[in-house]
Structure 1
Amino acid sequence: MKALFLEDTKVFKMKDIPMKEEQNKVTIKVKTMGICGSDISAYKGVLPLGTLPRVLGHEIAGEIVSVPKNDKGLKAGDKVAVEPYQYCGKCYPCSIGRTNSCENMRVIGVHENGGYMEYINHDIHLVHKVPEDMSPIHAAMVEPLTISMQAVDRVLVKKGEHVVITGAGTIGLLAALYVKYLGSVPIVVDPAVKRLEIAKELGMDYVFDPVNEDVVEKISRITNKKMAEVVIEASGAVAAVKSSIDYVSYTGRISLVGYPNEEIPLPTFLITKKELDIKGARNCVKKFPEAIQLIYEGKVNVKPIITNVIGFEEMPEYFKKISKNPNDYLKVIAEIN
């Protein structure tokens, strides 16, 4: 089978490797896979978690080829989305049900080979059936939606609350859509004009450019000077992380889902004075079934976020393009025909 290996920084190589089924695992024919920001970071040599050479890819949808006996009703021919977070089930976070923060976490496409190949073997409890008529392109969006849902749910967003989302990339825009689905008011902040246009296309009423607009004043006006009860920081940008403190209300909540490339000093006096709740968010816990239904039923419209659908063998070319002009792309999904 064909597998796309990242051999070194910015060096891909397509290889033919044996396809082996593994006992007690589901064998899946990969249909679609998304290019994630962390994949781009690995390509550029700035992702500290993985080692090379590596087959990247953790946003995966496909079709079951073979499956062991199971109580999930999974069978050969089923269309599925793949949950990539392999947790140990033994550490303290796992023991309290927070498997997304497993101390021994292994993510496919990061710590071991992922979905940029024709077939994968995966643990059955991490394979989720999708409706037969669900587009495999949309099924590849399930994993990123679960990340956004985790970020929003970490800070217990309530109906009617104002929620600032800093960063209008895939995770930020999916978070905005989920916030709107919950009946809250999303406010999207990003300096990239193209991304703000997509936010408008998705139905966002409040979109602001922090470079050319006074976002604090805008949020103050929208919230009758209270400021936003919640901020979802989805960019990882230093300025955005710091601005979160200004955007949020007294007693507000901040969810940090973007990964900064450096440590960021924060104004602890102001955090204490405003008595803020600041929480990290990573991966997800038990979000896949709901995410599948939200996309399938159109309650979260992922279509405008998918800027390009490409062929498997075009992936190296698109990694170059995305690295050079990241604001020209949101979600790029590759298909294996």
Structure 2
Amino acid sequence: MKAICIEKPGEIHVAEIALPQRKEGEALIEVKSMGVCGSDVAAYRFNHPNCHYPLIIGHEIAGIVREIGPNATGIAAGDRVVLDPYLYCGHCYPCSQGHTNCCESLHVLGVQVDGAMCEYVAHPADMLIKIPDSMTWKEAALAEPLTIGIHGIHTMGVQAGEHVTIIGAGTIGLMAALTAKACGAVPILVDVVDGRLQKAREMGLEYTVNSLTEDAEAYIRDLTHGRMSETVMEASGAEAGIANALRYASYLGRIALTGWPKGDVTLPTALITRKELQVRGSRTSVNEFAEAIDLISQGKVDVNPFITVAVPFEELPEHIIGQAQHPDTYLKIVGLL
């Protein structure tokens, strides 16, 4: 079968590999659509420390169940599904607490292990989530990144009527903002690129501010009548963004750190203490696929505007190279089989 393979950083192509063999407890999936994640592009651009090479990439995957064992429950051959790509051990402390996203030996498809950007993939049957017939394959490919935005909103415990300041208007930040809006909260997008903020406004996100050219703190203070933001999600990973999260938060504010910094970051802990801020990490997602599918299928979160291009499977390498060279040109690439 065909697969998208990175032989080493800077070398990506359509490869011929063996068909997967379904093991006990797994289902065989005919892949129909796949989204390109920033981690896929990073694996192409850099010698990613978490990746092995050569590497089959891809973890934003949807398809049709073609084979499944007799003891599977809730999933049958012919079902349309998305894949939960976060493989966990099931016995470490976080797993015992139900936080499988924090598994001490977590393996993500297309990162620590080969991914599913290929024609067929074998995957644990209990990590498949059914999607309705009304959902397009393009939409289904965006369920996984939406779960990360949802998880950030859950991490902060966002309530209707609260302000949610989101630093970083990339895919995850925008999806978190749309989720917050669907929950009845008031999202505020902060970024340093006007094009991203324009995209946010086109998606119906009213409150945006460029922290490079405007006083974002004053903007948030004015919008919240002096309170500042009850919740803040840091989705950029930039050191300045992390520091600003503390400034943008209200007293007793709740902060979710979703972005991945490239190095160590210094935090002014006196400000955390003075405001009694709750600062929490927010990693991937856990048990949030059903909610993502519901938000998409009911039209509460429209993921179609995220899709910059939807291309045939064989054209994915050239578009991944394009995104690596011109990151601001793409929001989301979707491949179709």
Aligned to 1:22: 22
Matches within 5 A, 1:33-112: 33-45=34-46, 47-112=48-113
Q: Residue 22 of structure 2 aligns to a residue in which SS?
A: coil
TM-score in terms of structure 2 length: 0.97
Q: Deviations 1:277-317 (Å, cap 9, x if unpaired)?
A: 11001121111111111101111111111111112111221
Give 1:10's aligned residue. Answer: 10
1:204 maps to which residue?
205
Shift of 1:71: 4.8
The question of whether the paired residues in 2 share the 8 Å contact of 1:257 and 1:281 is answered with: yes
Q: Secondary structure at the match of 1:308?
A: strand
> How far has the Cα of 1:207 moved from its partner?
0.7
3-state DSSP class of the match of 1:173? helix
Q: Which residue of 1 aligns with 2:333?
A: 332
Cα distance in 1 for residues equivalent to 2:96 and 2:180: 29
In structure 2, give the amino acid aligned to 1:12.
I
Label 1:54 to 1:190 Cα distance change in 2 as closer, same or farther (>3 A): same
Q: Which deviations, in whole Å up to 9, do the C-alpha atoms of 1:217-254 show, x marking residues without a partner?
A: 10000011111011111111121111111111111111
How far has the Cα of 1:177 moved from its partner? 0.4
SS at match of 1:171: helix
Q: Which amino acid aligns with 2:2?
A: K
* Residue-by-residue CA offset, 1:152-193 (whole Å, 9 max, x unaligned): 101101111111011111100000000001110000011222
- Per the normalisation by structure 1, the TM-score is 0.97
Q: Identify the residue that residue 180 of structure 1 maps to in structure 2.
A: 181
Matches within 5 A, 1:1-337: 1-24=1-24, 25-45=26-46, 47-336=48-337
Distance 1:29 1:71 in 2: 17
Assess if the C-alpha contact under 8 Å between 1:198 and 1:305 holds in 2.
no
Letter in 2 for 1:221: D
- 1:70-106 deviation line (CA, Å, top 9, x unaligned): 4533222211100000111100001111111001111
Structure 2 gaps, min length 5: none
Once the two structures are overlaid, the 10-residue window that deviates more, 121-130 or 4-13, is 4-13
Name whichever of 64-73 and 215-224 sits farther off.
64-73
Query: Displacement of 1:23 after TM fit?
Result: 2.4
- Please identify, of 176-185 and 233-242, the stretch whose mean Cα deviation from structure 2 is larger: 233-242
Change (3 A) 1:11 1:143: same
Which residue type is aligned with residue 118 of structure 2?
M
What is the RMSD computed on CA atoms of the aligned residues?
1.1
Q: Which amino acid aligns with 1:5?
A: C
| 1:102/1:16 CA distance change after superposition, 3 Å | same
User: Is contact 1:57-1:109 (8 Å) kept?
Assistant: yes
Q: How far apart, CA to CA, are the structure 1 residues paired with 2:179 and 2:42?
A: 26
Shift of 1:4: 1.5
CA contact (8 A) 1:194 1:328 kept: no
Paired amino acid for 1:11? E
